[in-house]
Structure 1
Amino acid sequence: MSSANSPRDRPVILGLTGSIGMGKSATAAMFAARGVPVHDADAAVHALYAAGGEAGPAIGSLVPEAVRADGSVDRNALRVAVLGDPARLAALEAIVHPLVQERSRAFLADHADAPLVLLDIPLLFETGAEERCDAILVVTAPPQVQRARVLARPGMDAAALAAILAKQMPDEEKRARADFTIDTSLGFAHAEREVDALIARLTRESPG
């Protein structure tokens, strides 16, 4: 935990991350249900990709085939277009990441009086977002559980899962860099108890 013991005039910022299929969204929902403000980076991307979204014009210049007639971005077409093309992927990230960070800053400003806020960021370590957090929570599960969850999703297959995992930091490394972990394979009740304990700990450690 980088700065939970220092005097602060802002919330404790908890970063939440985890590889695909680890239960990150369900865990974020537990925090939200307990009144913790949550900023969902993936939801921010969806908004940026929607018709009229800020990312559409720039992505249209980079990957014209991924933008629909109404100006919205087809995420599947975009994923196919950048898969295996590091230069194009880097150019896409240079468009999207600053826009998402801008929304994150606005979120923090809107919740400056909260004792604790959660930044739900799928590629937290991969994008260096841990530098903006006071502590990191990684949700995890055994590989066989992760695989079964992901392959049960519509449109997913082993090749698509392998491609996604190839651009994500391995779960083992995420866990090694985390301040806290929750194993979501142990059940919903276990995860809820862990969330409750973590909220209590972080808000207790926050001065004021």
Structure 2
Amino acid sequence: MTRPLIVGLTGSIGMGKSTVAAMFEAAGVPVFDADAEVRAMQGPDGELLPAIEAEFPGSTDASGVLREKLGERVFGDPAALARLEGIVHPAVARKREAFLIEHAGTPIVVFDIPLLFEKGGASAADRVVVVSASAEAQRRRVLARPGMTQEKFTHILSLQVPDAEKRARADHVIDTGTTLEQTENAVIALIGELKHAAENK
């Protein structure tokens, strides 16, 4: 059985990655959204709740993980964060494997992974696509988000591989500093190129 060409989609905060992921999906390319899977597994009746509650008592209730309470327990505590990741990451990997099996007959699939470079996931992808825009556009978008401050934004950026380095390490860069139509045209053109590569791999 041939497996699809695996495309890793990533980009720093505010670069438009979710918008580009939706464009891939609208064009018929299956997209695995790692963050959405984690939210579902940590939401009401989520499969990770018993393990998280056992490890961090009082951090969940009927609504799912209490993000603030859990955040207080793991933020700034590398050992606690490692224990949490030890629960979450294997579960996400299982979901990803099931997704690949489900879409084994398709030419390409997209793994939407925000911290692709930071967490070393790039090696699992055949091609890496980085979504990027100017620093000014990024700053404007992020600071428009509810509850976002310059301090929070600076902290988030400090945890992420710089945009210039991501662009340098990418196989393809999608520029979202243009109109939505231009971005969509770039995505459609890239899908054609990736399908060609999938047929010849």
Alpha-carbon distance in structure 2 between the residues aligned to 1:52 and 1:184? 37
The one of 50, 56, 64 aligned to 2:49: 56
Q: Name the structure 1 match of 2:146.
A: 154
What TM-score do you get using the length of structure 2 for normalisation? 0.92
Q: Name the structure 2 match of 1:198.
A: 190
Q: Name the structure 1 match of 2:86.
A: 94
Taking every aligned residue pair, what percent have the same amino acid on both sides?
A: 51
What TM-score do you get using the length of structure 1 for normalisation? 0.89
Cα deviation 1:22-63 (Å, max 9, x = unaligned)? 100000000000000011001001111112212222222343
Does the 8 Å CA contact 2:107/2:199 hold for their aligned counterparts? no
Q: Tell me how many residue pairs correspond in the alignment.
A: 200
Give 1:129-144 correspondences, 5 Å limit: 129-144=121-136
Over 3 Å counting, the alpha-carbon distance change for 1:109 and 1:95 in structure 2 is same
Alpha-carbon distance in structure 1 between the residues aligned to 2:198 and 2:69? 44
Q: Name the structure 1 match of 2:180.
A: 188
Structure 1, 73-82 or 85-94: larger mean CA deviation: 73-82
Alpha-carbon distance in structure 2 between the residues aligned to 1:153 and 1:27? 18
Over 3 Å counting, the alpha-carbon distance change for 1:190 and 1:76 in structure 2 is farther
Does the 8 Å CA contact 1:57/1:71 hold for their aligned counterparts? no
State the AA in 1 paired with 2:30: P
Q: CA deviation at 1:101?
A: 1.1
State the AA in 1 paired with 2:112: D
State the AA in 2 paired with 1:79: G
Q: Name the structure 2 match of 1:31.
A: 24
Q: Give structure 2 stretches of 5+ with no counterpart.
A: none
SS in 1 for 2:64: coil
SS in 2 for 1:117: strand
Q: Give structure 1 stretches of 5+ with no counterpart.
A: 1-7
Compute the RMSD of aligned alpha carbons: 1.7
Alpha-carbon distance in structure 1 between the residues aligned to 2:84 and 2:48? 10
Over 3 Å counting, the alpha-carbon distance change for 1:73 and 1:147 in structure 2 is same
Give 1:5-44 correspondences, 5 Å limit: 9-44=2-37
Q: Name the structure 2 match of 1:110.
A: 102
